[in-house]
Structure 1
Amino acid sequence: MTITVRFAPSPTGRIHIGNTRTALFNWLFAQKHNGRFIQRFDDTDVERSRKEYADSILYDLHWLGIFPDSIEYQSKRFDVYDQAVEKLKAAGVLYPCYETPEELDLRRKIRRTRGLPPVYGREALALTQDEITEFEADGRRPHWRFLLPNFASDPAETQRTEVHWNDLVRGEETVDLASLSDPVLVREDGTYLYTLPSVVDDIDMGVTHVIRGDDHVTNTGVQIALFRALGAEPPVFGHHNLLTTSSGEGLSKRSGALSVESLREAGVEPMAIASLAVLIGTSENVQAIDSLAELATHFDPASTSKSAAKFDPDELFVLNRALLHRMPFEEVRDRLVLFGIADERAEAFWNAVRGNLDKIADARDWWRIVNEGPLEAQQFDAETLEFLRSGFALLPEEPWGDTVWKQWTGAIRKETGRKGKELFAPLRLALTGRSSGPELAELLPIIGREGTLARRP
């Protein structure tokens, strides 16, 4: 058996870091078991689904390093769902209901006042043919509910019916079908809700493991029953905790909060996102991992907590810095070219500045400083100005090697008697216009003697 998983968002907005958590859990699980990863778009909601969102989701996944083995669209499979509906009707487990939303709401309120759970009472099963004819003459169209197997012989007399599964993440789980309403599978207008297409596709596509957020735990009991009603064995389920902000706020595709697109535009590296999305809320320490292959060695669904995984978005930038500070030149060469950093000094420049970057785009400013000097004119008092002018007069002749900074500052120390911060701070400001930054011993050979002299105050 080939392990097969799927990531199945609705293309109604940009995916965020929380969606990324689900995608990566599935991708890493497939990678660890030499399995298949299906990208499925649950786009049966034709009003809200957009192809541009589907395309952007694929782009985001590729950027993160996720490359599906196949791509499927539910909007192209309505005939398959129609066949499943007829099968369920023929088995007597899909029945028409004519209540309006207002009528259903009133019934729920009445049940609550009687101390009963607000589940659907299956009143539609008692309708006579005359009542159905009258409803349809009034223009009502039925929605269709799946009859849960939570009774012995009379559907009106439900009994505790436990569905058990061994969750990949949460361990042993149980749902009592008697505590649930029969789910609506088909709306009045004939369109499908999430449940039926999802189960039918999992059967047809050979999905062996369904890994998703723990907001679907209760749905799983219903879906297991539906798998069996369609004559299929349910897959293995796993429900991971959801990501929330440190204040407990959830994430939404439609709000665009912490979308992969916005994080990419902010300069966050894909592995910073992946490292946080996978490791937060698990027994593993959150750390910057260099590749998805390495991240897979840290990934264990069972190590995930049952509590919500709260995170501070600033953690992404901590991870980002850690990744950049050790990123080899070969990995970043092509991206530096986009900033005009492409001559024979590029590798030495990258190695010099990477430890001072929050994001790769920050290298542009340091490249300008190396080539043009401080970005803003520096003002020095008379004493510092005199020190700098005498110091620049001691600049060694070319050729320059790796020790030129040591030679130069040694000569200045001998001439002026200055040392430590009094010696180095004015030189750094004169050379770079900044009070901190890369090691000047590494920058000076890249600036060159002519460029250095041009900065003499």
Structure 2
Amino acid sequence: MAEVVRFAPSPTGNIHIGNARPALINWLVAMKTGGQFILRYDDTDAERSRTEYAENIAEDLAWLGVKPDRVEWQSKRMGLYDTVANKLREMGRLYACYETPDELDRKRKRQRARGLPPVYDRAALTLTDDQIAAYEAEGRKPHWRFMLDQKTISWQDGVRGDQSIECDSVSDPVLIREDGTYLYTLPSVIDDIDMGVTMVIRGDDHVTNTAVQIQLFELLSGKSPKFAHHNLIINASGEGLSKRLGSLSIRTMREEGYEPLSVAIFAVLNGTSDPVQPLADMNALADLFALDKVSRSSSKFDMADLGHLNARILHETEFDAVSDRLASLGVEGGDVFWLAVRGNIERFPEAREWWDIASNGLGADAVEKSAEDADFYAKATELLPREPWDETTWKSWTSALKAETGRKGKGLFMPLRVALTGRSHGPELAAFLPIIGYQRSVDRLS
């Protein structure tokens, strides 16, 4: 079945790896079923929503490879929400409440002290006209609650299996704040109905909202979409992710040179029965992913793990796939250079660092040669073959050095690596030496 799905971020900050997870999962399900993916901005919070954040979200999703079939803004649909809210009032299912937050908090504390669940007692339904008039004379504005049918709501969750919630253990939810603005629940249900959403895929922190929303769906349209609640991503210390953690934002990962495919693979496969592994492209990820592979426990995100995956993907990337990117970095070494260095980089911008080492200089952070190796370097210079060079030059040169000096292993190779690259580790010198060239090699050995 072709599924119509949606991702509904709030444009109140940049999205992070935890937000990317539901966006990617929804998009992959749409791709896999030949369905439709809707990007719907939950921007009803006028004070915190920013156009620039919405633009950043669109850019970050595009970078990941997510292409919406439709883009909507909830702030442009307020008239529809007002119409449905009035309908609910006429049906007697949306009722005005005048308690302040402090009064509600005290009421919940009293219920807990008596061993009762802190469920709203529907006291607002017993208010007289005089009591309402007195509250309004005080300047109180009502918030509006949806009256739940106190029954059991059950559904087959696409990730969690059989689920049920007893609605008599749930407070009637507030749908409209005192200032007249809508909370998430009502606009979301109205939009899902209006846009023909067939499956709601989101984080498992929304499981407890589902019974309320199913009641609204059934009341307003006679049916409910399917639901699937995936596990959440937590950070390395076990805490939930937040937009305040800029280091985990997709934008920061872009700026730091991570591959979009590695971020997408990690966001989707981490916390599933499939290993996090390099894949050819997003089509391969869509073919591999399935909702029934998602674990019910949280998945842990560690930048080091992302770095390892990113490196593995780069190590298998062919020159044709990165030639334009190398040119944009000012790297001119062609496929010979890329094949020489790709096995030693974790993030793509590091290719520029190795190009600078090969063609310009070792830099201020270069490891210094040992004065004790002066005679060795003199002999190495003497035995260095003249160009032209190829991948066999390194072996013939070091074999001659070994015969002349008696050095072998690390004692032979490490001083040469330090002199030629200024680093104690790096690309295989058999491939890298011809890129450095004869004259630069002589200069660095001297």
TM-score scaled by length of structure 1: 0.93
2:232 is equivalent to residue 242 of structure 1: yes
**Which 10-residue stretch deviates more, 410-419 or 208-217?**
410-419
2:439 is equivalent to residue 450 of structure 1: yes
Partner of 2:93: 93
Deviation string, structure 1 residues 223-258 (Cα, Å, up to 9, x no partner): 000111112411110001111123211111134351
**Which 10-residue stretch deviates more, 388-397 or 323-332?**
388-397
Deviation at 1:407, TM superposition (A): 2.5
Write out aligned runs for 1:207-218 (5 A).
207-218=197-208
2:323 is equivalent to residue 301 of structure 1: no
Q: Structure 1: which 4+ aligned runs deviate by more than 4 Å?
A: none
The number of equivalent residue pairs is: 444
For 2:7 and 2:123, how far apart are their aligned partners in 1?
Answer: 37
Counterpart among 152, 168, 172 of residue 182 in structure 1: 172
Partner of 1:441: 430
**Which 10-residue stretch deviates more, 232-241 or 121-130?**
121-130
What SS is found at the alignment partner of 1:351?
helix
For 2:445 and 2:138, how far apart are their aligned partners in 1?
Answer: 91
**2:145–2:175 contact (8 Å) kept in structure 1:** yes
What SS is found at the alignment partner of 1:455?
helix
**2:367–2:423 contact (8 Å) kept in structure 1:** no
2:17 is equivalent to residue 17 of structure 1: yes
Write out aligned runs for 1:52-67 (5 A).
52-67=52-67
5+ unaligned residues in a row in structure 1: which ranges?
151-160
Counterpart among 145, 157, 162 of residue 167 in structure 1: 157
TM-score scaled by length of structure 2: 0.95
**Which 10-residue stretch deviates more, 232-241 or 250-259?**
250-259
**Which 10-residue stretch deviates more, 208-217 or 417-426?**
417-426
Give the AA of the match of 2:391.
Answer: D
Give the AA of the match of 1:346.
Answer: G
Partner of 1:109: 109
Counterpart among 203, 210, 228 of residue 218 in structure 2: 228
For 1:242 and 1:397, how far apart are their aligned partners in 2?
Answer: 59
Deviation string, structure 1 residues 129-153 (Cα, Å, up to 9, x no partner): 2322332233222211111011xxx
5+ unaligned residues in a row in structure 2: which ranges?
none
Deviation at 1:114, TM superposition (A): 2.6
2:294 is equivalent to residue 320 of structure 1: no
**Which 10-residue stretch deviates more, 430-439 or 36-45?**
430-439
Give the AA of the match of 1:409.
Answer: T
Percent identity reads: 56
**Which 10-residue stretch deviates more, 392-401 or 15-24?**
392-401
For 2:112 and 2:367, how far apart are their aligned partners in 1?
Answer: 73
For 1:220 and 1:286, how far apart are their aligned partners in 2?
Answer: 30
What SS is found at the alignment partner of 2:254?
helix
What SS is found at the alignment partner of 2:407?
coil
Deviation at 1:377, TM superposition (A): 7.2
Counterpart among 391, 394, 398 of residue 383 in structure 2: 394
What SS is found at the alignment partner of 1:59?
helix
2:338 is equivalent to residue 350 of structure 1: yes
**2:2–2:30 contact (8 Å) kept in structure 1:** no
Counterpart among 185, 209, 212 of residue 219 in structure 1: 209
1:164–1:326 distance in 2 versus 1, CA, 3 Å: same
**Which 10-residue stretch deviates more, 253-262 or 434-443?**
253-262
What SS is found at the alignment partner of 1:413?
helix
What SS is found at the alignment partner of 2:145?
strand
Partner of 1:82: 82
Partner of 1:195: 185
1:108–1:293 distance in 2 versus 1, CA, 3 Å: same
Give the AA of the match of 2:114.
Answer: R
For 1:361 and 1:332, how far apart are their aligned partners in 2?
Answer: 11
2:131 is equivalent to residue 131 of structure 1: yes
**Which 10-residue stretch deviates more, 347-356 or 417-426?**
417-426
Counterpart among 248, 258, 266 of residue 258 in structure 1: 248
Counterpart among 241, 257, 268 of residue 258 in structure 2: 268
Counterpart among 406, 411, 433 of residue 395 in structure 2: 406
Deviation string, structure 1 residues 369-416 (Cα, Å, up to 9, x no partner): 11134333733335x222222222222233323322223223333433
2:41 is equivalent to residue 38 of structure 1: no
**1:430–1:456 contact (8 Å) kept in structure 2:** yes
Partner of 1:158: none
For 1:381 and 1:189, how far apart are their aligned partners in 2?
Answer: 76
Deviation at 1:125, TM superposition (A): 1.2
2:331 is equivalent to residue 341 of structure 1: yes
**Which 10-residue stretch deviates more, 193-202 or 385-394?**
385-394
Deviation string, structure 1 residues 58-104 (Cα, Å, up to 9, x no partner): 11111111111111110010001011112111222111112222222
For 1:286 and 1:14, how far apart are their aligned partners in 2?
Answer: 25
